[in-house]
Amino acid sequence: MANGLDDVVAADTVLSDVDGVGGHLTIRGHSLAELAGRWRYAQVVRLLFDGFFDDLPGDAEFENAIGKARVEVFDRVKPLLAQLAPLDIYSGMRAGMAILPDGDGLADALRLIAAPAVLTPALLRLGRGETPIAPDAKADHAGDMLRMLAGAASPALAKALDSYLVTVCDHGLNASTFATRVVASTQAGLTSAILAGLGALKGPLHGGAPGPVIEMLDAIEASGDATAWLSAEIAHGERIMGFGHRIYRVRDPRADALKAVVRQLGSRNEASSKEMGSRLAFAETVEQAALEVLRIAKPQRSIQTNVEFYTALLLEAVGFPKEAFSNVFAAGRVAGWIAHAREQQATGRLIRPQSRYVGPVPDLVA
Ligand code: ACO
């Protein structure tokens, strides 16, 4: 048995490929570098969906359809928001998504793309005692998320968030995508499959890491000594959030894509950009200290920076509080989950592995 299913191939996919040795991510024939910062999120969602839905419209119409889905989802969840708001923000989003119809069509898929983008700002606003802002069907997806959060979105921040959503849209057979495919393999509907992905993403070993990255940066800043703080964590058996990956033995290419976006934000000529620039410089110092501490503590394993380290800085810079970072991750990754669910339904069989029984055996009756 391969504990954790290391190196087990459990699906053929045309969607994405993670080269953990070379440090490359390919999404439907495009490198991450080709897509991040160049393609809009709606275009990449369409790219992932291509071939998995019969009625896929062209790029412009597709973006409009996502906008209309945001409005539809907002209208559906609005009566429930007050009940969802007391939950933690991730559970509130998941509960809001659970009420969506459980079909397999494009309309179902678009509602699922729209839902995290609509629910997250609405629940954050309610949590702050503010009224939720309705979506604008004509706005771009990332810009509308920020507008629903803060009332307005600067084009630079909207572009940064869009680049983030593109960067995390799909990533091979990670834990949440596998969970999604297992449920899709039973021929359950898309909402059921996506709820499985949402559950798996929440944990700190997967999509729950970027919030703790901010807590770590703040604690290190307060302590004044990154190496001492990080070494003490390792000595206590803790993991350093934002570092290490099951597949990558080199630096996660998404970390560099996101760092470039944060650097761009920090180089603008505004007071807030200066703050961002110094936050980035501090994070880079912590990153170098963490890589060195991990190299010495775990010489048998190459533990490098993963996507979550710079995710934390980027999402903080565009205005999301740390408790909502995993929601925003879900808002990007939901595209990959839907495409994988459709691929599994179309080409896969029921996923049903075996377990090895290691418990007590019943007494034989004489
Ligand atoms: N900090 C300290 N030690 C680590 C870290 C880390 N970040 N990552 C791995 N290790 C160590 C483990 O303690 C273990 O050491 P040991 O052999 O002395 O017991 C060894 O490396 C192997 O650990 P595994 O859990 O088997 O390695 P795996 O490759 O499966 O780990 C994982 C991947 C779970 C992401 C891990 O690196 C980790 O916990 N990282 C911190 C959390 C994090 O950043 N999660 C986000 C991942 S990216 C994503 O999912 C989007």
Which pLDDT value is given to residue 164? 98
Question: Atom 2, ligand 1: which residue's CA is nearest?
Answer: 239
Least confident of 180-189, 262-271, 338-347: 262-271
What is the token pair recorded at 123?
Answer: 């629940």
CATH number for position 191: 1.10.580.10
Q: Is the pLDDT of residue 336 over 80?
A: yes
Residue 245 counted as domain residue: yes
Residue 175 counted as domain residue: yes
Known catalytic residue at 245: yes
Residue 18 counted as domain residue: no
Better-scored residue on pLDDT, 278 or 47? 47
* Overall number of domains in the chain: 2
Distance 245 CA to ligand 1 centre (A): 6
Q: Are residues 224 and 176 in the same domain?
A: no
The structure's pTM equals 0.96
Q: Quickly state the pLDDT bin for 267 (edges 50, 70, 90).
A: confident
Known catalytic residue at 238: no
Q: Is the pLDDT of residue 270 over 80?
A: no
Q: Are residues 124 and 193 in the same domain?
A: yes
Conformational region of residue 242, where left means phi above 0, alpha means psi within -120 to 50, and beta covers everything else: left
Question: Atom 37, ligand 1: which residue's CA is nearest?
Answer: 244
Q: Are residues 100 and 122 in the same domain?
A: yes
pLDDT digits (tens, 9 = 90+) for 196-244: 999 999 999 999 988 999 999 999 999 999 999 999 999 999 999 999 9
Give the single-character DSSP code of 365: P
Distance of CA 347 to the CA centre of its chain: 25
Which pLDDT value is given to residue 366? 66
The percent of residues in the chain predicted with pLDDT above 70, rounded, is: 99
Q: Is the pLDDT of residue 268 over 80?
A: no
The percent of residues in the chain predicted with pLDDT above 90, rounded, is: 93
Residues in contact with 227: Cβ distance below 8 Å, sequence separation at least 6, in sequence order: 289, 292, 293
Residue 214 counted as domain residue: yes
Q: Which of 72, 287, 308, 316 is catalytic?
A: 308
Residue 363 counted as domain residue: no
Name the 3-class secondary structure at 202.
coil
What is the token pair recorded at 135?
Answer: 């979506």
Q: Is the pLDDT of residue 248 over 90?
A: yes
Which pLDDT value is given to residue 155? 95
Which pLDDT value is given to residue 262? 93
Shortest-distance atom of ligand 1 to CA 242: 44
Half-sphere exposure of 264 (CA within 13 A, CB side): 17
**Helix, strand, coil share of the chain (percent; to 5):** 60, 5, 35
- Ligand 1 touching residue 241 (CB < 6 A): yes
Using a 10 angstrom Cβ sphere, with 0-12 exposed, 13-18 middle and 19 or more buried, the burial of residue 296 is exposed
Q: Is the pLDDT of residue 269 over 90?
A: no
Which pLDDT value is given to residue 277? 83
Average pLDDT over residues 76-97: 97
Residue with tokens 């440090």: 23
Question: Atom 49, ligand 1: which residue's CA is nearest?
Answer: 206
Alpha-carbon gap, residue 70 to 284, rounded angstroms = 37
Q: Is the pLDDT of residue 105 over 90?
A: yes
Which pLDDT value is given to residue 140? 96
What is the token pair recorded at 324?
Answer: 């909502």
Residue 197 counted as domain residue: yes
Q: Is the pLDDT of residue 51 over 90?
A: yes
Q: Quickly state the pLDDT bin for 363 (edges 50, 70, 90).
A: confident
- For the chain, what is the mean pLDDT? 95
Q: Are residues 178 and 215 in the same domain?
A: no
Q: Quickly state the pLDDT bin for 141 (edges 50, 70, 90).
A: very high
Give the residue numbers spanning the domain of 165.
28-203+323-347
Average pLDDT over residues 254-264: 94
Residue 361 counted as domain residue: no
Residue 258 counted as domain residue: yes
Q: Are residues 61 and 178 in the same domain?
A: yes
Q: Are residues 196 and 260 in the same domain?
A: no
Alpha-carbon gap, residue 19 to 235, rounded angstroms = 31
Sheet architecture: strand order including 24-27: 16-19, 24-27, 30-31
Q: Are residues 175 and 243 in the same domain?
A: no
pLDDT digits (tens, 9 = 90+) for 286-315: 999 999 999 999 999 999 999 999 999 999
Distance 303 CA to ligand 1 centre (A): 8
CATH number for position 216: 1.10.230.10
Closest CA to 48 of 11, 13, 15, 12: 15
Question: Atom 13, ligand 1: which residue's CA is nearest?
Answer: 239
Helix segments in 236-324, DSSP class H: 253-266, 271-297, 307-318
What is the token pair recorded at 149?
Answer: 């959060």
Distance 269 CA to ligand 1 centre (A): 38
Q: Are residues 115 and 237 in the same domain?
A: no
- Ligand 1 touching residue 242 (CB < 6 A): yes
Q: Are residues 67 and 190 in the same domain?
A: yes
Average pLDDT over residues 30-51: 97
Alpha-carbon gap, residue 113 to 103, rounded angstroms = 14
Q: Indicate the top mutation candidate among 7, 169, 239 to test ligand 1's pocket, ranked by most ligand atoms within 8 A of CB.
A: 239
Name the 3-class secondary structure at 104.
coil
- Ligand 1 touching residue 233 (CB < 6 A): no
Q: Are residues 180 and 62 in the same domain?
A: yes
Shortest-distance atom of ligand 1 to CA 244: 37
Q: Are residues 250 and 336 in the same domain?
A: no
Distance 282 CA to ligand 1 centre (A): 23
- Ligand 1 touching residue 246 (CB < 6 A): yes
Q: Are residues 327 and 281 in the same domain?
A: no
Which pLDDT value is given to residue 133? 98
Q: What's the angle, vertex CA 329, arms to CA 75 and CA 232, rounded to 5?
A: 140
Distance 209 CA to ligand 1 centre (A): 11
Phi and psi angles of residue 90, each rounded to the nearest 5 degrees, phi first:
-70, -45
